[in-house]
Amino acid sequence: MIGCDCDVCRSPDPRDQRLRSSIYIETPECAWVVDTGTDFRTQALREDIRRVDAVVFTHSHTDHIMGFDDLRRFSHARGSMPVYASPETMRDLKRVFQFAFNTSNPVPYYLKPEAHIIHGPFKLGETLVTPLSVPHGDSMVNGYLFSRANRKLVAYLSDCSAVPDTIVDLISGVRVLIIDALRDRPHPTHLSVGQALDAAARVKPGSTYFTHICHDLPQSAECRLPIGAHIAYDGLKLEF
């Protein structure tokens, strides 16, 4: 947090030094990123990411889209960049980044997005991507379930204020649940730690990782979580 001297903001634990929430997924067939937040360039450099074949958006809030133009490096490498988003999110992307979507400029390194509106499950390589519509305050945003060979591997719910029963049914028994857990205190647009734990108890995943965490929640709080629940940190890698 800018200008903050709290214990987390001044923590020597590198896991307390958090950039915007996002995930990068690499499979034998292709690789993609979910959201391009304000810190996307820094994250891509830190992780030495060399390949992005697509980008999938959860919603159009600033902290999830404002690194969009830094996809130009990957777009140039493959000739264009497939962009997957809900109709509402795609509308906002086209408005904010109209210079990319509405241009005939032949400059080779410019970002060339290919718009793909999400209306239901779709595939990236051999991975089935199922959109999960969840409330984020007064609006609805997308989380995603990633499955391979009929196995539910990851459910990603980075921004939500509730997990409806219909979504619980879709992701029940998933191997890893990555879920919004902003802080202990309630918040109007995000889950609290208690609410996230309640959702995990309904989903019954193999393991749970909290994300989209604010500076009210230190990494050291993981010691009080139940077995199988963790606080995610920047650079965390999971292999399947």
pLDDT, tens digit (0-9, with 9 covering 90-100), for 176-229:
999 999 999 999 999 999 999 999 999 999 999 999 999 999 999 999 999 999
The letter for the amino acid at 107 is V
Of 232, 182, 192, residue with least CA distance to 208 = 232
Place of tokens 């993609």: 32
Distance in Å from the first CA to the final CA of the chain: 33
Domain endpoint, select from 104, 119, 134: 119
Are 78 and 132 found together in one domain? no
The two three-digit tokens of residue 31, written as one number: 């690789």
pLDDT tens digit sequence for 40-66: 999 999 999 999 999 999 999 999 999
The letter for the amino acid at 8 is V
The two three-digit tokens of residue 129, written as one number: 């991507």
Task: Answer yes or no: is 166 within a domain.
Answer: yes
The answer to whether 51 and 27 have CB atoms below 8 angstroms apart is: no
Are 134 and 230 found together in one domain? yes
pLDDT at 106: 63
Place of tokens 């921004």: 159
Distance CA 179, CA 161 (A): 10
Mean pLDDT, range 17-21, rounded to an integer: 96
pLDDT at 107: 72
Distance CA 157, CA 148 (A): 18
- Strands 151-157, 81-85: pairing kind: unpaired
Specify the range with the lowest mean pLDDT, choosing from 65-69, 75-79, 169-173: 75-79
Q: How confident is the model at residue 71 (pLDDT cuts 50, 70, 90)?
A: very high
Domain residues for the domain of 128 are 122-234
Query: For the chain, how many structural domains are there in total?
Result: 2
Domain endpoint, select from 84, 119, 154: 119
Here the CATH number for the domain that contains residue 147 is 3.60.15.10
Place of tokens 């989903």: 203
